[in-house]
Structure 1
């Protein structure tokens, strides 16, 4: 790392804060009063025992990120699988992300199912804030909420009519355009409307350096040829339309509807760096959310929220637009249903009850060549869920108690498909999920908190049914891989215990939390002779510690400017599973040993703000799925610890340190200019083995508010 440059930059920020310092004002934001909608109860953050992180609008505006995947990995501690070409999924606390099936982490938009697990298709321009709930939340959301919940809160109508236009441009021929307007059209009708477009017209350049020391094997894993190289077929274009309407029918009834339409065409998928078997894809997703709210008095509120989403992905055989090209794979995923909430306040308690009905329909087609049907990745299937739940939050003096339970009835149908040798099947599941949380506020700003929760996940059809093979030629090398489903897979369940201590007082904040998860029937993959099999593990356990801390140095010194030093750190103490057949204990794949985000943020009273942010991406294990003929590694390069042998072909990926910098200035009350540098020190790193991420990129921006 260029330590002189970093030291000079941080000194410049600190000096600027002193030059612009003024008397301290009490006008500061109290994060504890933020209402967390992911709880479905509208509770303030200070009354929630579970671990919740808020990514606020200032962080969103000053961290270089064009989509929710880039933002989340830079603003909170998560694991991520991300590919060039608009695909990114996340995991938390040892629940690994997956690009091929439903995630262990639920993604919501305004408290309703987003209809996707691909975070790269959600631009940051529509986001007001993000709530990250860590730990099991099946008590409120049912299946798949094992690792946590990410709730993206979008922009809302304001009392005054206002709008904003932002234009960005920079490295790799990147241009972004965002425009939105909101306001009350009458005393009853409010509206929000917006459009965003992101375009990268040139292939990006891979980073040319590594800040942390790497051995020869780790450099070979990245490919020594990749440093500073152009990664071909990494261009993309994506647009989104969004709108909201809110109508106050009378003093008691309120109705709203919102819609989002995401469209991306000819998004290049470059293939891994070693083989570069380029394809392209189209992504289209429609979301429609509704809400009818009845508030007869200040103590009672009923909401009925229907929703519908449809996402279509079309993957082409190659990246060219020639006549021989064809759609090799396409899927069509619909998710719809209705969710009801009824809250009743009595004394120091709030009671939430509700009934949810959710449906997920999956359909797909695959061709080996134009006009020739091939086995799809998984059979068509339908997941229907009917649930009833109740939760109570009780606050008395310094104690908050949060207790609830959910009953889940699920039917899962897998439809017949001849080429997959699947005759079709239907299963019924019933699960009961209790949870309990306690938070006690001690004197002088301290608090202690603890919770226990259960969760479950129904196995995806990708792992349960059928058989398919991939046979092709990649960069002159034959490539073959087969996948065999297992109809005997059992649903996964988990129990998580967590506890910690926190402190909030004026300019100081910290929270230290320990968590432990016992994961039963975890579904694991095993590859034998290029065929991947799926089995339930004998057992699995994930435990670790999380630390969040921040201090506003300027406020401590009595100034009205903001000079905040902040950081977050997650360290896994254990992330292992035990194979059922061999009883061998192994480390989990795709789980980082540690994740951290930290930085320094300065904001004065004259419209200037700047942020230096760093992300530490810890080492993790991944199975090598790239031909050894294509990449420059030998048998000795494979990992032989954590229960693995050389023959398992597991790689130990290195850790990385990625810095970002941004600065903004309000030229006038309406006009703002800015510059951001992503990957400041040009780190060469991957978010999925073999898929190197962009190196240093510089973006300039201009925003006009009206």
Structure 2
């Protein structure tokens, strides 16, 4: 709905996710899955107002969203689990503003609350897996959804004549009730809410187009997107006391940078580099039950460390990596386009998760017709 220069948006949506898994011991015999089948269904109603004031120099947005989340856990074959269900309700506001100081230069800021619903089996589950990693799991009916409050503020500058587009933003996120594994009971693994967690850092975006020197007869753009976390910590109040540690599965640094070329005569090319910084992970390999298996040693017989990034038996540090991608296309008569892309150009052997290797070099070609 439009009121002059202002807009009001009202809507409703639903996101439902049903999880079903099957595992096979061999070609003929099924094995128990790692998790029971479950359904997460979230229905939301939202209201968003976008305001343009002072001849469009000041832009503001105010929003409110209500969600009802339903969990259903299903009895699953080959795993000890029963039907169960839970419900949650959430109300989340948000506010954003930007002000144009002068032509091309503006300041901006925003604050909002968000939430992440835990999977159904973490709330209502009571099941046992078998096999090598046989484990008893018990859901926590008192488990709350993870909630967070994020604020950010920054400065942006755009000047097409000079070919410059830049933005620098500081952000801070405070988490409440972050869901963590609970290993305090020797009989089963459960889930609990951490007391609190925090992340804050800086996002930098910069692009410069050399085509601006020739009135954009072509485009040769150099770009960089970089995110650095100053802090990413979690505080957990457990039965043995308070624990403060770095958040797992969170990388303190990541970046994308490269060069894009557009001839304005049909040819486009791009080379992109992806830098993913190191992070801490749960060390599942050393957490396994080794009572009936030979434990993996820390050193080889020659004294070489098998896992030099091991922090302790529970945590390992996943290394950083840099991956290059290349793509190009050519359009004929604004109708026919042929192209190719090469992911992992240098065929690097890397992992985004411990022990799960990513694909090596992959080459893809394409041909398209525009009608």
Offset of 1:527 from its aligned partner? Answer: 5.9
Aligned to 1:482: 135
Offset of 1:432 from its aligned partner? Answer: 1.3
Aligned to 2:127: 467
Is 2:36–2:127's contact at 8 Å kept on the other side of the alignment? no
Offset of 1:402 from its aligned partner? Answer: 0.4
User: What secondary structure does 2:242 align onto?
Assistant: coil
Q: Residue 85 of structure 2 is aligned with which of 423, 426, 433?
A: 426
Distance 1:696 1:375 in 2: 34
1:349 matches 2:349: no
Offset of 1:430 from its aligned partner? Answer: 2.0
CA change 1:626–1:378 in 2 (3 A) is closer
> In terms of mean alpha carbon deviation, does 685-694 or 433-442 score higher?
685-694
Distance 2:272 2:366 in 1: 19
Aligned to 2:252: 593
Q: Residue 106 of structure 2 is aligned with which of 425, 447, 450?
A: 447
Report 1:10-49 matches (<5 A).
none
Using the size of structure 2 for normalisation, the TM-score is 0.82
Aligned to 1:563: 220
Aligned to 2:292: none
Distance 2:75 2:370 in 1: 55
Aligned to 1:549: 206
1:661 matches 2:326: yes
Q: Residue 308 of structure 2 is aligned with which of 637, 653, 658?
A: 637
Distance 1:682 1:420 in 2: 40
More strand by share: 2
Consecutive unaligned residues in structure 2, runs of 5 or more: 287-294
Q: Whose relative contact order is higher, 1 or 2, with alpha carbons under 8 Å and at least 6 apart?
A: 1
Aligned to 1:519: 175
CA offsets, 1:239-289, max 9 Å, x none? xxxxxxxxxxxxxxxxxxxxxxxxxxxxxxxxxxxxxxxxxxxxxxxxxxx
CA change 1:605–1:373 in 2 (3 A) is closer
User: What secondary structure does 1:463 align onto?
Assistant: helix
Offset of 1:388 from its aligned partner? Answer: 2.6
CA offsets, 1:29-55, max 9 Å, x none? xxxxxxxxxxxxxxxxxxxxxxxxxxx
Distance 2:13 2:337 in 1: 44
Distance 2:36 2:309 in 1: 34
Aligned to 1:617: 276
Is 2:80–2:129's contact at 8 Å kept on the other side of the alignment? no
Distance 1:377 1:636 in 2: 26
Q: Residue 413 of structure 1 is aligned with which of 59, 63, 72?
A: 72
Aligned to 2:96: 437
More helix by share: 1
Q: Residue 354 of structure 2 is aligned with which of 689, 692, 706?
A: 689
User: What secondary structure does 2:103 align onto?
Assistant: helix
Q: Residue 393 of structure 1 is aligned with which of 29, 50, 73?
A: 50
Using the size of structure 1 for normalisation, the TM-score is 0.45
CA change 1:485–1:634 in 2 (3 A) is farther
CA change 1:466–1:698 in 2 (3 A) is same
Aligned to 2:291: none
Consecutive unaligned residues in structure 1, runs of 5 or more: 1-343, 472-478, 641-645
Report 1:136-147 matches (<5 A).
none
1:493 matches 2:147: yes
Is 1:637–1:651's contact at 8 Å kept on the other side of the alignment? no
Aligned to 2:289: none
Offset of 1:451 from its aligned partner? Answer: 0.8
Offset of 1:384 from its aligned partner? Answer: 4.2
Is 2:283–2:313's contact at 8 Å kept on the other side of the alignment? no
CA offsets, 1:47-74, max 9 Å, x none? xxxxxxxxxxxxxxxxxxxxxxxxxxxx
RMSD: 3.2
Aligned to 2:157: 503
Distance 1:618 1:403 in 2: 35
